[in-house]
Structure 1
């Protein structure tokens, strides 16, 4: 496992927490459509920020030890950050919607699907 993934693993809990908090915030303010649109640049910008520590550690490792710079791993770390934040945001929206009660009632369609008998 490369240096990028070692550093990425240490900082991934921050991305998970921010995604979940963003999801809870979006569940509470679900009627603001501009907030949903502003969350996309926020996710991309925060993913870029969270990709900086692995990038910096790779540059330092390249300068000190002469290790080849792992461009592919940096790109993967960015997309993993985007995915982690987005999936955790979705979980936060679902859990937050159930907590505050803004769930759409399905008139028993979902519960009928869940009963197999």
Structure 2
């Protein structure tokens, strides 16, 4: 396991917390038609910001001469950040919708 994954593991809880908060916000203010576009931009933006931390760690190692920068690992960390944000956002949206009453589960049958 490389340095990128070690740094990514430390900050991955931020993805989950921010995703749940964004999902709950979307559940409360679901009437705005531009909100989904804003949510997509926020997810990609926060994923990029959180991906900066492994990049900085890789650059520090490269400057010290102790290792190399692994671009595939950095891209994978970015995609994992975006995926974790998107999944936790959708889960937060569903839980928030149930909590505030926008979505009512009828006999645990969602599709019928």
Give the TM-score of the pair, scaled to structure 2. Answer: 0.92
Q: CA deviation at 1:61?
A: 0.7
| 3-state SS, counterpart of residue 47 of structure 1 | helix
How far is the alpha carbon of 1:42 from its aligned partner? 0.9
**Matching residue of 1:22:** 22
Structure 2 unmatched ranges of 5 or more: none
Which consecutive unaligned segments of at least 5 residues does structure 1 have?
Answer: none
1:83 maps to which residue? 83
Q: Displacement, 1:83?
A: 0.2
Q: Is the 8 A contact 2:4 2:57 kept in 1?
A: yes
Q: Measure the CA separation in 2 of the matches of 1:109 and 1:16.
A: 26
Matches within 5 A, 1:23-38: 23-38=23-38
Q: Residues 5-58 of structure 1: CA distance to partner in whole angstroms, max 9, x if unpaired?
A: 000000000111000000000000111121111111111111100000100000
Equivalent in the alignment of 2:40: 40
Where do residues 48-59 of structure 1 align in structure 2 (5 Å cutoff)? 48-59=48-59
CA positional deviation for 1:111: 6.6
Bigger radius of gyration: 1
Structure 1 residue 67, shift from structure 2 partner: 1.0
- For 2:69 and 2:60, locate their aligned partners in 1 and report how far apart those are by CA, in whole Å: 10
**Which SS does the other structure have where 2:109 is aligned?**
helix
Tell me the TM-score normalized by structure 1: 0.88
Q: How many residues align?
A: 112
Which is richer in helix? 1
